[in-house]
Structures are given as C-alpha cells and as structure tokens.
Chain A
Amino acid sequence: MTIVGRIVRYLCAVLLIIWIGLPIYWMFNMSIMLEIETYSVPPHFIPQNPVDFWYRIMFGLPVTHQLAGAVGVMNAALFTHGIYNSIFVALPTSLAVIAVSSLVAYAFGRLNFRHKNALLFSLLTSRTLPPISIVIPYFIFFTVYVPLYGTTYGLMIMYFITIVPMVSWILTGYFASLPIEIERASRIDGCTRTSSFRRVILPMAAPGVAAGFLISFIMCYNEYLFAMILTMGSEGATLPALLAGLFSHGTVMPLMSALVIVAMIPPVVLALIFQRYITQLRIVDPVTTL
C-alpha cells in the first residue's frame, strides 16, 4: 500500500469521526452551559463554567443556581415516568416482533410456496403507507371502539404491527444467506422440520435475530409521531410524547439539549453493544437463492 493511500485513508477516518461526533458534541457542549453562555459571540467551543444544572432540573435534583423561567415547564417526575414508559413499550414489543419475524423470515428465506413473491412484495408495500394514514384510523379506533387511547398498550400494538413487516423483510434476506446444506443434512439425519428449525437454523441465525431485536427496539424507542398522537398528555406518555409537548411550548435551548442527550442514551448504548451483530446481517435476494 502506498504512503499516500494510507494518509488519505486515515484522513477520511478522521473526517468521519468529526462528521459523526461534531453535532453530538455541540449538543452536549450546550447542555452543560447556563443559558447566558450559549449566546456568547464568539461561541465557547468548550464551556467556561460547565454546570450540571439542566440535568439536575430534568431529574428533579436540588439545584444551586436560581433561575426562573424554564424550570416551571419541566416536570421531573413526568420525565422519568416517560423514560420508564418508553422502555416498557419497546422491550416486550421487540420480543414479540422478533418471535414472529424470525418465523416469517424463515418461511420467506428458506421455503418455496405459492404466492411467495406477491406476499414478499406486500411486506415492502406496507412501508409505503404514510404514517399519518396509519395513525388516523387507529386514533379513531382507540378512542371510539377500544379504550386504548393514551395507554402504552395501544402504542405496543401500533409498533408491533408496523415493525413486524420491516424486521421480517430484513431478516428474510439474512435467513436466505445461511448455508442450506447444513439444514438439508440435519433433515437427512432424521430431524423433523420443527426440530431442525430449533436446533440447526435458530442457533445459526442468532446474530441476525439479535440484530433484528436491536433494530426493533430502537425503532420502538425512537418513534415520534404515533407516540405523540396516541399518548401525548396522558398517563401512558412516552419520552418522545413528552418532548413533543416541550417542543411545541418552546423551552430554553440548554435544557432542550440536555433532554435530547438523555433521550438518546439508551438506543445509542444498545446500538454500541449489539453493533457487531448488525455487521453480520448479510442481505441476500430471497427469490433466487433457493
């Protein structure tokens, strides 16, 4: 490898780190300033008096600085309840999603059956529906027919039905990429179809299933519109629904920054932990591999 090529490569790597890191750093930078400092010109790229003031307000801890205004908007108990709701919605939903999706993906990726291509295409078209046209019918359904408006259960149902097609679609390509010989061998050795699925396919597919779980969890946790429409201002309000309330009222930027930083910690940490499984999520055309 030439020296120039190596230098270019590392230069690109540095640019990549800046590209990813800078927006996040700027947010964090502002979240540890008092409001007056964020307006300084030229800007402080590193805060002169870093404070944990906004984080304390967020979690309802005693504060040292006396600042009126923003403090009134923030309801700490509601906020922690929102985080709890978000995780409590995302976790069971993702488990259900992954249970259903891996069976569906196995069928699409490994079996040939009638109308397979048409059904596969319907997986795809489910993503073409704009979110508003999904949420309006359910908003009315949950308010008029089944009293699920403003509950976390309503959200769970919404997320389950919207994320299953997506994760199934991703996992289909993954199941299709697993070597078929091992499965055939296990069938010849006398495994039934179900035991072959359980003992041979699932262990092989474990990284893909883990990645599917991660994707599902992050999509549930990060979803904004459904959460806002279906739970805003209610007992079941998740974190995005609470933040949506603050966005529309308008709040001071450092507090906003701190809120967003805290909101993004769970998915980011999960993504970092599960990242190596996603790298194994090879996508292969399920129609032609069989």
Chain B
Amino acid sequence: MKALSDDQFAYLLILPLIIISLAMIVYPLAFSFWLTLNDVNFGRPSNVYIFTGFEQWVKVLYDPQFLSSFLITIRFAFIAVVVSLLLSLGIALLLNEPLKGRGLLRALVIVPWAIPEYAVGVLWKYLYDADIGLFNGILYVFHIIPGYTTLMLESNAVELVAIAYSWHMASLGVFFFLPGLSFISQEEYRAARIDGAGSFRRFWHITLPHLRYPLLVWLVFLTMESVRALDIILTMTGGGPNLATNTLSFIGYKQTFQLLNLSPGATLSYYLMFLTIALAMVYFYVLYRPKKKAD
C-alpha cells in the first residue's frame, strides 16, 4: 500500500469527527435557523408553521424578560466562574502540598463532579430548604436565627444556585490544574525563595505562568458550561423564586417544552451561542500566548 502523507493520514483519522460535526453542529444550527425564520408553535390548534422572516430575532430582543434574563445569565455565569476558579485553584494548590492522606483526598475531590448535575440541584435544594434545610438547622442550633426562615430569596437566589453549581464544577477544575502543578520543578521555587520572593510572588511569577494553558482551557470550558447551565436550575429552583433564576437557557426551555413555542427558544439559543463565542474569544485574546517553537 502506498504510504499516506501526513495530511491524508490526519484527515483519515479525523474523518469521523467531521461527520459528527455535521450531525452535531451543522444540522441543529441549520434547523434552528429555519425555526427562527418561522413562528412554529405546536400549542396552536392549526397553522403550526407561519413564515415570519427575521421577525423573531427582533421580537425576542424586545421581550421584557429578555434583558432581565440576560443579566441573570451573566450574573450567574460570572459568580459560578469566579467561585469555581478560586475553589479549584485553591484545592489544587492544597492537594499539591505534602499532606498525610493526600491520595485519599485527591480521590474524594472528584466526587462532587461525579454526582449528576440534576442531583446536585436536589442536594443543595435540601441544604437551603426552609423546612428541613441543613443551613437553617445549623443557624437555628447556634441561635443565629430565632426560627426557620426562607434562605433562598429573590435577591440572592442566583448566588445560592451559583454556589451549588461551583461545588459541582470546581472539583473537575482541580483535575485541570493538578497535573500541571506536579510538573513544575521544585528547583524554580527554591531559586525564587533564595532570591527572596514571598509565597504570593512565587505563585504569581512561577505557578500561574505554568498554568496558563490549563487555565485558559478551564475558563473557556467553565464559561460555556455555566452560560448554558440548565439541569441545576430545573431541579433546584425551576426559575424561581419569582423568576429570580430565569436564565436565558431556562426561558428557552420553558418556551420550547412548556409552551411548545419553538421559534423563540431557537432564537434565544442563537443569542446564547453568540454570547458564549464572544466570551470564549475574549479569553483567547487575553490569555493565549503561543510559545515560540522550542526546536
């Protein structure tokens, strides 16, 4: 058999991926785009499909819920990203230190990620719960509150859900950082210590540059996941209390599967996708510095 060139061999290997991308990206995108150009509503007894052109794209923007949902989505994603990032970096640094029982801890850390996201929603719902919640119980036992209260209010619901979401996601982040950390040589730290660099400067000038790429991958991944997060909202709040956690993703879900109104959902999804791509590009622009080739 004639030897293949690098190009041919590579394309042979990624051929399945190209087919999958057609199925996973091109077909849904094309179909959704068709949906946005029509008013498709299975809730109507007749006239399910009505061609409307670009009307949906404008209508969705003028929907009073859109702006508030957009802000809720950004707020949720921002808190989830910051909290998950700090947590995962902190835990990774801790688990990189010599500790008795470190192996066991490293094994345990993955557990919150292994728990399904919908289950995480239920788990934390029961922690915050007004009747049987653990946090209420602890606050009550220590006499911080006189009686059980509703902890999840309209004002803080987004934050509470974001913390639960971070509990789930941070444990995956640890595994983005740990391998990178263990490859940093102790020599570098020793040299810096001799030069009089404090622990913060060692972290800033040695640890962080080594983690630049995992950090980028993790930030992009985390942002994409939290902007489109849906399971946890479905099982934990259902968009409530009083629409406080009504993210774009959740509106899209509600429009599509409860009101059977497919077009606004599809249009929202497009806006959501633009938002995610824009955020990912910002990360690349800020964080991505391709190194010069070594050889």
Contact = CB atoms under 8 A, between A and B. Distances in A.
Interface of A: 9-10, 12-13, 16-17, 19-24, 26-27, 30, 38-39, 41-43, 45, 100, 103-104, 106-108, 111-114, 116, 119, 122-134, 136-138, 140-141, 160-162, 164-165, 168, 173, 192-193, 218, 221-225, 229, 240, 243-244, 247, 253, 256-257, 260, 263-264, 267-268, 270-272, 275-276, 278-285, 287-288
A267 B179 CA distance: 22
A132 B269 contact: yes
18 contacts: A9-B97, A16-B105, A22-B134, A103-B13, A119-B17, A125-B25, A125-B280, A127-B221, A127-B225, A133-B270, A137-B31, A173-B217, A192-B3, A240-B118, A263-B116, A268-B114, A281-B175, A287-B290
User: Do most interface residues of chain B lie in helix, strand or loop, or is the interface mixed?
Assistant: helix
Interface string B101-112: 100011111111
B23 interface: yes
Contacts of B75: none
A128 B221 CA distance: 9
Nearest to B120: A23
Contacts of A103: 13-14, 16
Contacts of B231: 224-225
B257 interface: yes
B213 A279 contact: no
A85 to B, nearest CB: 15
User: Do most interface residues of chain A lie in helix, strand or loop, or is the interface mixed?
Assistant: helix
Contacts of A12: 94
A162 B147 CA distance: 47
A100 B91 CA distance: 33
Contact of A23 (B6, B116, B127, B291): B127
Contact of A165 (B24, B129, B131, B293): B24
Given A23-B123, A165-B21, A275-B106, A224 B117 contact: yes
Contacts of A223: 116
A160 to B, nearest CB: 8
Interface in B223-268: 224-225, 228, 230-231, 234-235, 249, 252-253, 256-257, 262, 265-266, 268
B214 to A, nearest CB: 5
A133 B228 CA distance: 11
B9 A193 contact: yes
B149 interface: no
B198 to A, nearest CB: 13
B282 interface: no
B110 A288 contact: no
Given A281-B175, A282-B179, A111 B167 contact: no
